[in-house]
Amino acid sequence: MQDTIAAVSTPPGEGAVALIRISGPDAAAILGKIFHPSNPVPRRATHGRILENGETVDRVLVTVFQAPASYTGEDMVEIGCHGGILLAAHILEMVLRLGARAAEPGEFTQRAFLNGKLDLTPDGQSPRLGGRNFGKSRHPRRNDNELRCGQGFANASPCEEPDAEDPLLRCGKLT
């Protein structure tokens, strides 16, 4: 994949935390333009501020994942901001203005699959992605390393919100 995608990855509505996910070759560069401190340590949550025109938009926790050690297998950033639709949508809009494009529903999972980070199992949904029956969602595993690598996750339902076509209001559920 050559482009960088972004989306709000938490369900719409009011909650304590919202998560904005960025994946692709420009993920870290985009983060560097809006986050202070500008060089978070990979794979560690870093507390800082999202800035717009020198003003603090929100105090956030940022985690940077370098390829291939991320969910998608690409360079990836997760921004945990205070919850609520408007703040998360505003930060996503900032990211999109800096060159990312709005992710299609299920595109993070698609990239993970294409990069060998998960498999498509015939057993249905994993309970970690919204499966309703744990017994039917167990996946045969060759060894514990598969579980640690995040394989075996697929088939979550697409967003059914009426405004799902609006990239700022997408629920970010995996397909």
Q: Does the predicted model carry a pTM greater than 0.75?
A: no
- Using one digit for the tens of pLDDT, what is the confidence trace for 108-118? 999 999 999 98
Mean pLDDT lowest among 37-41, 55-59, 82-86, 166-170? 166-170
Paired residues of 59 in beta bridges: 49
CA dihedral 86, 96, 7, 90 (to 10 degrees): -10
Q: Strand 35-36 to strand 46-52: parallel, antiparallel, or no bridges (unpaired)? A: antiparallel
Q: What is the pLDDT of residue 157?
A: 36
Does residue 137 register a pLDDT over 90? Answer: no
CB-based burial label for 147 (10 Å; 0-12, 13-18, 19+): exposed
* Residue 60's pLDDT band (cuts 50, 70, 90): very high
Among candidates 42, 41, 45, which has minimal Cα distance to 19? 45
Pair 117, 149: CB distance under 8 Å = yes
Instruction: Give the C-alpha separation, 40 to 129, whole Å.
Output: 28
